Amino acid sequence: MEFLTAPVPIFNMQDDASSMGSRWEKWLNRFENYLLAAGIDNEERQKAMLLHYAGEQVHDLFLTLPDITVNPTETPAPSAYLVAKRKLNKYFHPKVNREFEIFNFRQCKQEENEVIDTFYTRLLKLSKTCSFTNTNEEIKSQIIMKTKYTQLRKYGLTEQPSLDDLLARGRTIEATRKQLAAIEDEHKQIEKCNRMHQNKNRSNTSQKNRNPDQNRDHQIQSKCKNCGGTWHTNGRQSCPAYQLNCRSCGKIGHFAKVCMSKGNQRPQHNTRNSRTHTQRARVNFNETQNQEEFNSDHSETSFQITTIQKVNKVNLPTTQVKLNGTSVDFIIDTGSSINLINAETYKNLGIHKLLPDNTTILPYNTMKRLELVGKFKGKFVHNKSETEADVYVVQGDGEALLSYETSVKLNLIHVSLNNKTISEISLSEYPNLTKGIGNLKHVKVMLHIDETITPVAHKHRRIPIHLRKAVEAELKRLEQQDIIEKATGPTPWVSPIVIIPRTSNPNQIRLCVDMREANKAIKRERHPTPTIDDILSELNGATTFSKIDLKDGYHQLTLHENSRYITVFSTHAGLYRYKRLSFGINSAAEIFQNIIRQTLINIQGVINVSDDILIYGKSKEKHDQALRIVLERLNANNLTINLRKCVLNKDKIKFFGYVFSKDGVHPDPEKIKSVVNLETPTNVHEVHSLLGILNYVGKFLPNLATNTQVLRELTNKRKKWEWSDAHEKAFKFLKKQLSNAQKLAYFDVNKNTHLYVDAGPIGLGAILSQEANNKTEIIAYASRTLTQVEQRYSQIEKETLAATWAFSHLSIWNNIYSTH
């Protein structure tokens, strides 16, 4: 009976009643851990030990509580221990005072010696009894308000990061402080030794000569062990070597000329090199005052450059560029992300002020930091090109480096697209664009719900047993990606789910929600979506194209908390609801189209149709500029893309069933192939599908209405299905006509436009064309059938009808030509 002596304290019911529910849950969790550790799995023993260890008060309370109802269909039947636990839970859980728990949560703040992860764990624990709608957002807000780090609070208020990003920044700040503290300890020890050495010199001088003037002269002559200069009466922080790296040993806090590391062979006497170094150190001392104060408010940034040591300039591209009016010899370094000069060059520029900076600059393939003096904004001029960029000043005698970006802006280098396109380079600059599912910043979709519609809560649809694991896996994935959440509280709207196996992997499913009843209460928003005609008018003259696909488009828009209740759906694992815009909502397409359009507004050469973004330009440069702006805009708004579906930097591109190029537009060859390879239709449904595909590419086929009249007769419900030779002939003719479909030109407002119309016995036809340089280009074909009444019109009436119909259908014309 050794287990009876296990240290499980009794549950104290006399403590604060407002926190009894949370205290009971904590005690019960600890007790169950004990049962597991002790290997006690007999249900009767578990119940007896629960009442024994909970204490006399809980035992007496249990005897007075009414029995709870057990569902007879529950399998497996609940054990005696589980029934007892439910009985006590039912009593204690109502004792949770949500308002008091929220008060406790709001009072929680980071302790002085507490790390950010411990603080987060405490908040997470407190939040469990608060029933927050969005726990992560509440925890993030509490960390921002109650953290002890001013830098972290500033980051949270200005950048509006996610909880994970906020915690990562907090860990970085803590790690940086630890490292800085270790460095400062070393500096204090060095300073202490220097002061002891100085005091000893003072004492010896005083004993030998009591003349005050001589003592003062000796003090001035005392050397600093870190920079080699005179002793700094204002303290360690005024030393020019403070927080700089030694070029000899790599440690922080002293110059190489006074380095005491083993094997250091640098001369200590006043050579030419040491004089130059002293002059540069003096630049650092005069130009970077208040650097420590600046560093306290700015996080450290790291750059890596190719080289800063002296190199054989014969093997590297060099050029002379005017920097702030002074000619400077630069090495064009395509591997460098910053512009770099040494302190001597900076001195020759005659600039009197540097901005302090705590950037870490690492030469390629080494971790030894360069001694940074500061930075300034420089104006670069080469031939007729000029640009402004930051210039970093470092100690040493290395060559001046010109960064890749500045070299491009000065037209000093041109990118070869043989291996990697500008588009791909642009994508590499924004790694977050391809990470997971984005969440558009500062936007929450509010659905307009008609509260007069009676809510409908559908009965749960039983899910086949063999699909349940796949459904559970999909629910877990969606919940982890913050797309859905478990529904709590009243659920007036409950929709059933529809399970669709994925064609790429039959073991995975696509989970859809049947929101037909819920959609009756959702008022639709009406926003325009670009049509093929809109796209054709915009792409005139374009030569380069790209297409960006937004990953899981709708799911990148957050659904407002007040609109989520109508998205509740039922599964065998419980009720869930959407936190993001879902595909089943009737107004989702219009809402998504409008929001993405607003996000990309005022960017020339960009059209979006739903989650597909088409980028185009009349030149390669304009296309690349538009693409870069789009990627920057998406990245700034926390949107992500599906790189696998993106098409970049092409001279022709497939977009919504059409192929666009600089010469015009033609149908997607795959769609044409699918029609040409069709077997002869065997029923009305297959004829409807055929006519739908033909109508989609109808602008490429003249007289389509007339040529499909025979097939459309088969869709008449009053007629019996019968496939005749006439139908077969029309079917083969249409396939041949489609396989020979010609390319259409883009509409140009500067060209003469003509609209040709014609009327036949059973249909109307129209051709929109333009003329330039004695060449006629077809813009579009159009046709429609005549009704039974219209077929009885006279020919002149049919021609007039053709003109008025084409006039309104195409909406773009200069002159109308008719065969009559």
Distance CA 438, CA 611 (A): 13
Q: Which residue is associated with the tokens 């764990």?
A: 121
Distance CA 631, CA 613 (A): 11
Average pLDDT value for residue range 121-130: 86
Number of Cβ atoms within 10 Å of the Cβ of 437: 18
Average pLDDT value for residue range 29-45: 85
Helix axes 163-208, 150-159, angle to 10 degrees: 140
| pLDDT the model gives residue 612 | 92
The per-residue pLDDT for range 319-375, each reduced to its tens digit, is 899 998 888 989 888 777 889 999 888 888 887 678 888 777 777 545 567 888 889
Average pLDDT value for residue range 614-643: 91
Q: Which residue is associated with the tokens 């700040």?
A: 173
Q: Is the pLDDT of residue 243 over 80?
A: no
Distance CA 323, CA 600 (A): 36
| pLDDT the model gives residue 473 | 92
Amino acid letter for position 128? K
Distance CA 665, CA 747 (A): 11
Helices (H), ranges, 520-587:
532-538
Longest C-alpha distance within the chain, in Å? Answer: 132
Amino acid letter for position 141? S
The per-residue pLDDT for range 439-480, each reduced to its tens digit, is 999 899 999 999 999 999 998 888 888 889 999 999 999 999
Contact 715, 691 (CB under 8 A): yes
| CA atoms in the 13 A half-sphere facing the CB of 348 | 12
Can you read off the two tokens belonging to residue 718? Answer: 């009053």
| pLDDT the model gives residue 142 | 94
Q: How far is CA 200 from CA 95, 144, 208, 216, 230, in A?
A: 72, 51, 13, 14, 16
Contact partners, residue 516, CB within 8 Å, separation at least 6:
none
Can you read off the two tokens belonging to residue 294? Answer: 């600046």
CA trace torsion 404, 406, 410, 413 (10° rounding): 0
| pLDDT the model gives residue 439 | 93
Can you read off the two tokens belonging to residue 560? Answer: 């407002």
Distance CA 586, CA 22 (A): 42
Give the pLDDT band (50/70/90) at residue 423.
Answer: low
Handedness of CA 683, 686, 690, 696 (dihedral sign): positive
Give the pLDDT band (50/70/90) at residue 516.
Answer: very high
Q: Higher model confidence: residue 233 or residue 147?
A: 147
The DSSP bridge partners found for residue 569 are 495, 576
Residue (of 774, 772, 768) closest to 744 by Cα position = 768
Judged by average pLDDT, the poorest of 242-246, 489-493, 586-590, 702-706 is 242-246
The per-residue pLDDT for range 775-814, each reduced to its tens digit, is 888 888 888 889 889 989 999 998 899 888 888 887 655 5
Q: Which residue is associated with the tokens 């185009």?
A: 616
The per-residue pLDDT for range 259-273, each reduced to its tens digit, is 776 444 444 444 334
CA angle (430 as vertex; 426, 435 as ends), nearest 5? 130
| pLDDT the model gives residue 238 | 63
| pLDDT the model gives residue 372 | 87
Distance CA 154, CA 149 (A): 9
Amino acid letter for position 163? L
Contact partners, residue 711, CB within 8 Å, separation at least 6:
687, 690, 691, 727, 730, 731, 734
Q: Higher model confidence: residue 406 or residue 252?
A: 406
| pLDDT the model gives residue 573 | 92
Kindly report the average pLDDT of the chain as a whole number: 80
Distance CA 150, CA 110 (A): 12
Quick one: what percent of the chain has pLDDT higher than 70?
80
The per-residue pLDDT for range 85-125, each reduced to its tens digit, is 888 888 876 555 778 788 888 899 999 889 998 999 899 88
Give the pLDDT band (50/70/90) at residue 712.
Answer: confident
Average pLDDT value for residue range 655-676: 86
Q: Which residue is associated with the tokens 């014609």?
A: 758
Q: Is the pLDDT of residue 301 over 60?
A: no
| pLDDT the model gives residue 237 | 59
Per DSSP bridges, beta strands 752-759 and 652-655 are: unpaired
With 0-12 CB in 10 A as exposed, 13-18 as middle and 19+ as buried, what is 153? middle
Radius of gyration (C-alpha) of the chain in whole angstroms: 38
| pLDDT the model gives residue 275 | 37
Helices (H), ranges, 209-235:
212-221
Give the pLDDT band (50/70/90) at residue 176.
Answer: confident
| pLDDT the model gives residue 177 | 83
Average pLDDT value for residue range 387-416: 84
Distance CA 645, CA 393 (A): 44
Q: Is the pLDDT of residue 61 over 80?
A: yes
Give the pLDDT band (50/70/90) at residue 277.
Answer: very low
| pLDDT the model gives residue 190 | 55
Average pLDDT value for residue range 719-736: 90
Per DSSP bridges, beta strands 658-661 and 664-667 are: antiparallel
What's this model's pTM, rounded to 2 decimal places?
Answer: 0.49
| pLDDT the model gives residue 355 | 86
Q: Is the pLDDT of residue 623 over 80?
A: yes
| pLDDT the model gives residue 547 | 93
Average pLDDT value for residue range 30-51: 86
Quick one: what percent of the chain has pLDDT higher than 90?
25
Can you read off the two tokens belonging to residue 136? Answer: 């992560």
DSSP state string for 302-366: EEEES--S---GGGS-EEEEEETTEEEEEEE-TT-SSEEEEHHHHHHHT----B----EEEETT-
| pLDDT the model gives residue 341 | 92
Number of Cβ atoms within 10 Å of the Cβ of 731: 19
Give the pLDDT band (50/70/90) at residue 26.
Answer: confident
Give the pLDDT band (50/70/90) at residue 550.
Answer: very high
Give the pLDDT band (50/70/90) at residue 816.
Answer: low
Distance CA 29, CA 49 (A): 14
